Structure 1
Amino acid sequence: MKLLYKGKTKDVYQLEDGNYILKFKDDMTGTDGKFDPGANTVGLTIDGAGKSSLKLTKMFFEILEEKNIPTHFIDANIEEATMTVKPAAMFGNGLEVICRYKAVGSFLRRYGMYAKEGQDLDAFVEVTLKDDQRGDPPISEDALHMLNIVTREEYAKLKDLTVKISNIVKEELAKKNLELYDIKLEFGKVNGEIVLIDEISGGNMRVYKDGKYIEPLLLEKLLLQ
């Protein structure tokens, strides 16, 4: 395998057949030792976090496959904490698409003059650029179009897929009396088709039960027990 990229929570390798291997690490995003799915720095390392993230990612990608939602997923090896995926072209240097059901995190920090903590949001979709140097700035549809990162047609598709996928995840969580507050997704293009890439795990969503935040490793246990 050829190492292509060392990320904060995953390393990316290329196989001889052209597919990629994602190696999940035990590092998690956050600051000062506290987990934060919206952070762009590694804040803590928890033993078993990589395998936990992969177990949930495998579960959710398989559910999406059953519902004909396109993804880059091929298969996963839980013991080795690796996932085999199709190579996908990025939008620019990478985008993150967030779907919000509750006003928390950066949404509340930005719009706290008007929003109350935990206020209901109607699957609010926003896009941020993957740009650590500039703090992953939010970007509008117009700016994405004018900077030749995403066409208007692609933006509509991204938004539609984000809401569909997020609602599926939300419904799966609700089966265990868990509530999704927000989720961060990534997309790329495989053979010209927009597909979900990266992961779906406790590391890229905020989940609560009875008003109490559920840590990523506990989320895996609650969903897969």
Structure 2
Amino acid sequence: MNTLPHFATPQLQLLHRGKVRDSYRIDDTTRLIVVSDRLSAFDSVLDTAVPHKGAVLNGLANFWFEKTAHIIPNHVKEMIDANAMLVKEAQPIKVEMIVRNYITGSMLRGYQKGQRTFSGVTVPDGLVKHQQFPTPIVTPTTKEESDREITPENLVSEGWVSQELYDKMAEKALELFKVGSDLLASQGIILVDTKYEFGLLNGELILIDEIHTPDSSRFWSAEDYAKNPEGAEQMDKEYVRQWLIANKVDGKYPRALTPEVAQEATNRYLDIYQRIVGQPLATADETATGGNVANRLVSNLVKAGLMKDAWVNIVMGSPADKEHCQKIRSFFEGYEVFTQLRVCSAHKNGEEIGPMAEVWNRSIEPGVLIAVAGLSNGLGGALAANVNVPVISCPPWKDYAELAMNLNSSVIMPSGTPNLTVVRPDNAAQAALRALNTPRLRERLRQDIAATKAKLKAADAELKAL
């Protein structure tokens, strides 16, 4: 399926990889948030990505941020792509403000076991499944490795927030919930419960993360609820949760969804988007029309000036090889390719190559590695054994004996380690450009070749005329 299960690039600094969202540094005041098609359930990310899910979440969040900007400022700067937005760099408040208007989910399970107080809010006896509260309630939790219920008083006493800040967060959460509930009600949807996350920007409280999406909220069909409150259809990822529960084996949930379940999940995400926004997701037909999510995302990031469409990492075994690496790098000027110098020892495979290889192997755009190391050329082989991108070795050499030794080590590489050796720095760069094999670079190289031929032809004509 055409999905975006993962986003990685050596061109941007990763700040945080969440269950669904990945955040990258753009500058001191801006970060890029990419919403993947990953799906999490029961504190675990499933192996199956759900088509269009990331675009639905990103689009809905942007829709709601615009609808609620009059209540509280938010972190959105610009939508870059269906799956990505630029946001203001804010200091996150490690508290989730959960607003509930019905007793369901984890609260219902606790209630059925005799619990009556939730995050400092006491509810009466005699409530039944899915019963509406007289007014929405706020039940905050901490944002830790495992979120926990906590009273407002303890949030203050433990130093999470000040009393004044908590009061403002609670006030804004209830205002946001009312706007969301009213708009959704007009579409035949009940906003059952949701979470809000806040941050501080220059001392001002702002809204961050997401708002009123199928991943952060619970939705019911108003029509279904009116007919059978306890059996109301949940218009969110609860469908996937219930499938996982029904298919547990030896107490363990499945790691992957069947194609049919993944497709139904997609249908539900697209449906809730259209019902809320009032029009279909703009990229909903991408799969059918042969589009590619990753290619579209890279194209839009390039248009926004946030990255190049391809990269070359020049990896040296020692800082002593920096001059040689810089010489290779100079031959990429004018080709609009991201280049970067890295230092990595062939003898520290797991420690150094491993983390780098994770980014190189998963990079959303094409890339090439150029290995620069001395005798035996072990770095090129070590890289080739760990990465799925082309590796070209261009070792520095002082005499033909050194060159012969490096060439020999290259041609006897074991199976599965295709390390290519190029002697001249300019040819190493040219080989990398060809290995990237993008349409833009192929056209540019075609023009370069044509220009070279024309120059030679002109030189030949000039000599003939002598």
The separation in 2 between residues aligned to 1:45 and 1:199, in whole angstroms, is: 19
Deviation at 1:170, TM superposition (A): 0.9
For 1:126, the equivalent position in structure 2 comes to 139
Determine which structure has the larger helix proportion and give its number: 2
Q: CA deviation at 1:223?
A: 1.5
The one-character-per-residue Cα deviations of 1:61-86 (angstroms, maximum 9, x if unpaired) are 01112x2422111121333x111111
1:88-107 → structure 2 map (5 Å cutoff): 88-91=90-93, 94-107=94-107
Q: 2:45 aligns with which of 38, 42, 47?
A: 42
Identical-pair percentage: 27
**Who is 2:27 aligned against?**
16
Q: Structure 2 CA distance, aligned partners of 1:180 and 1:128?
A: 19
Greater C-alpha Rg: 2
Q: Relative contact order, CA 8 A, sep 6+: which one is greater?
A: 1
Q: Which has the higher strand share?
A: 1
How far the C-alpha of 1:29 sits from its partner, in A, is 2.6
In the alignment, what sits opposite 1:37? none
- In the alignment, structure 1 residue 87 sits paired with structure 2 residue 98: no
- Mapped to 1, the partners of 2:51 and 2:64 lie a distance apart of 22
TM-score by length of 1: 0.88
Equivalent of 1:72, from 68, 75, 98? Answer: 75
- What amino acid is aligned across from residue 85 of structure 1 in structure 2? V
Residue ranges of structure 2 left out of the alignment (5+ in a row)? 1-11, 115-124, 226-232, 238-268, 280-466
Deviations 1:86-120 (A, max 9, x none): 111122xx221110011111111222234421111
Paired residue type of 1:174: A
Cα distance in 1 for partners of 2:39, 2:179 equals: 24
* 1:61 counterpart (59, 65, 86): 65
Q: 1:121-169, CA deviations, whole angstroms, 9 ceiling, x for partnerless residues?
A: 221101111223xx31111111111111111111100100100011111
After TM superposition, the runs of 4+ consecutive aligned structure 1 residues lying more than 3 A away are: none
CA distance in 1, matches of 2:159, 2:236: 38
2:219 to 184, 207, 214: 207
Q: For residue 101 of structure 2, what is the amino acid of its counterpart?
A: Y
Distance in 1, matches of 2:61 and 2:40, equals 17
Unmatched segments (≥5 aa) in structure 1: 32-39
Is the 2:71–2:175 Cα contact (8 Å) retained in structure 1? Answer: no
| Contact 1:95–1:127 (CA under 8 A) maintained in structure 2 | yes
CA shift, 1:177, in A, is: 1.0
**What amino acid maps onto 1:50 in structure 2?**
G
Q: In the alignment, is the contact (CA less than 8 A) between 1:11 and 1:23 conserved in 2?
A: yes
1:142 pairs, out of 124, 142, 153, with 153
Alpha carbons 2:71, 2:176 under 8 Å: kept = no
Distance 1:168 1:20, change over 3 A: same
Q: What is residue 34 of structure 1 aligned with on the other side?
A: none
Q: What is the identity, as a one-letter code, of the residue corresponding to 1:86?
A: K
Instruction: Give the whole-Å Cα distance in 2 for the aligned partners of 1:202 and 1:75.
Output: 22
- Residues matched between the structures, number: 211
Partner letter of residue 46 of structure 1?
V
C-alpha RMSD over aligned residues: 1.6
Amino acid at match of 2:98: I
Following superposition, the deviation at residue 172 of structure 1 comes to 1.4
Calculate the TM-score normalised by the size of structure 2.
Answer: 0.44
Residues 55 and 78 of structure 1 are in contact (CA less than 8 Å); yes or no, is this contact kept in structure 2?
no
